[in-house]
Homo-oligomer: A and B are copies of this chain.
Amino acid sequence: MPTTPSRGAAAIGQSGGPTAVINQSLAGVVEGLRGQDAVTRVLGMRRGVSGLTQGQFVDLGAVPPDTLERLARTPSSALQSTRDKPTPESCQQILKACRDNDIRFFFYIGGNDSADTCRIVSELARDSGYGMRCFHVPKTVDNDLMQNDHTPGYPSAARFVATAFMSDALDNYSLPGIKINIVMGRHAGFLTAASALARRRDDDGPHLVYVPEVAFDVDRFIADVQEVFGRLGRCQVAVSEGIRDASGHEIGAGLIGGEKDPHGNVQLSGSGALGDQLANLVKARVKTSSGKAPRVRADTFGYLQRCWPDPSPVDAREAREVGRVAAQAAVRAEADASVAIVRTGNAPYAIETRLVPLREVAAKTRTMPPEFLDGHRNVSRAFLDYLRPLVGDLPAMERLPG
């Protein structure tokens, strides 16, 4: 139940992987707090809660509006980020830092792990009787937050992926072969599925789309590639970095052999191992009609997907809005919550924001619903209808007849 807010400082942090529009959300919170009597100072936490507990702040109230606007248009987390998972001890330190700095408004911009941090801090403040409003502002290119139609950051990353597949398909049309592109998204296939928006004609790539929601079977994959390549003489393939085999084992993580972050997330990005391994399989097993080995290449799109400086206009606007909504809810002393985006119309496209309990978003993962898939290697028209309004105009591309 809402209580009267205490007067005091606000603190804003950014956490987890950055996006092209996460600074829009930062600017949105700052704007929403501007001129509010209850808010004495607006502090940016450097590196999320790590900076908070170490007293490392930026005075965001002193940032001129035109600088804030340029910052909002700059990709990646301006306050720097963290992947530290709060422990019982560090949570006590977070609360102590909030008390020490008279922080009464706590905003955390991030994904489901960040929502969980926000939840823990919220509960700790409540249990200790410290009057502080805690709001989670959604952000993730993985699009995997519960209660959200989609999450800020995803539409811009989807725009990059669709543009990349469109361009790369022309490259593969020009010098035909089998091209495998590995796409981010962790355990959710939304970002990989965005590749399908690249199609304009029946024979346009991506011809095969593999997401983590469907168990990946190597023999079936080889047969799929052989079928498309035999039919078209080329084959463009979209593969999620998080594909799993029938027993749920993450194929890429096993190949990369990288580290885990403190939330237990294994390394899936920043390596070309999965793409190279799939390319080697295809080279060994897929045959051309002449018996010659086909031309096979793999690209792993990597971090450019989440930081490319050409955001979706819809995404930029919505990322700003969820920050503003969180700030306004906090100064109205609404109950601690996560801001969620709900779609209210598709033609014309319309959304509204809702405040949902933190525990309904925290540490949970949404994956693609079955109606967004079409068999084991494609996405449905329903998914394309869902995605299209989010990404903005894609470049026009022409092909010669014949």
* CB nearest to A174 among chain B residues: B77
Quick check: is A75 within 8 A (CB to CB) of the other chain?
Answer: yes
Quick check: is A173 within 8 A (CB to CB) of the other chain?
Answer: yes
A400 is contacted by which of B71, B83, B166 (Cβ under 8 Å)?
B71
Kindly identify, within residues 33 to 80 of chain A, every residue whose CB is under 8 Å from any CB belonging to chain B: 44, 58, 63, 67, 70-71, 73-80
Kindly identify, within residues 69 to 104 of chain A, every residue whose CB is under 8 Å from any CB belonging to chain B: 70-71, 73-83
Is the Cβ of B309 less than 8 Å from the Cβ of A303? no
CB neighbours (8 Å) of A296 from chain B are: 270
* CB nearest to A303 among chain B residues: B171
Known: A276-B271, A299-B300. A309 touches B174 (CB 8 A): no
Is the Cβ of B18 less than 8 Å from the Cβ of A174? yes
- In Å, the complex CA distance between A75 and B74 comes to 26
A293 to B: closest C-beta gap in Å: 7
Known: A167-B307, A272-B276, A279-B270. A79 touches B400 (CB 8 A): yes
A74 to B: closest C-beta gap in Å: 5
- In Å, the complex CA distance between A82 and B173 comes to 11
* CB nearest to A398 among chain B residues: B70
A300 is contacted by which of B70, B272, B279, B309 (Cβ under 8 Å)?
B272
* CB nearest to A397 among chain B residues: B74
Known: A166-B309, A309-B166. A58 touches B401 (CB 8 A): yes
- In Å, the complex CA distance between A78 and B402 comes to 11
- In Å, the complex CA distance between A299 and B298 comes to 12
Is the Cβ of B400 less than 8 Å from the Cβ of A163? no
Is the Cβ of B297 less than 8 Å from the Cβ of A173? no
Kindly identify, within residues 172 to 199 of chain A, every residue whose CB is under 8 Å from any CB belonging to chain B: 173-176, 179
Is the Cβ of B270 less than 8 Å from the Cβ of A299? yes
* CB nearest to A71 among chain B residues: B398
* CB nearest to A267 among chain B residues: B297
- In Å, the complex CA distance between A174 and B16 comes to 9
CB neighbours (8 Å) of A297 from chain B are: 269-271, 302-303
CB neighbours (8 Å) of A166 from chain B are: 309
- In Å, the complex CA distance between A298 and B267 comes to 12
* Sampled A-B contacts (13; CB under 8 Å): A76-B174, A77-B174, A81-B175, A164-B308, A271-B275, A271-B276, A271-B298, A272-B273, A272-B300, A276-B276, A297-B303, A299-B300, A304-B304
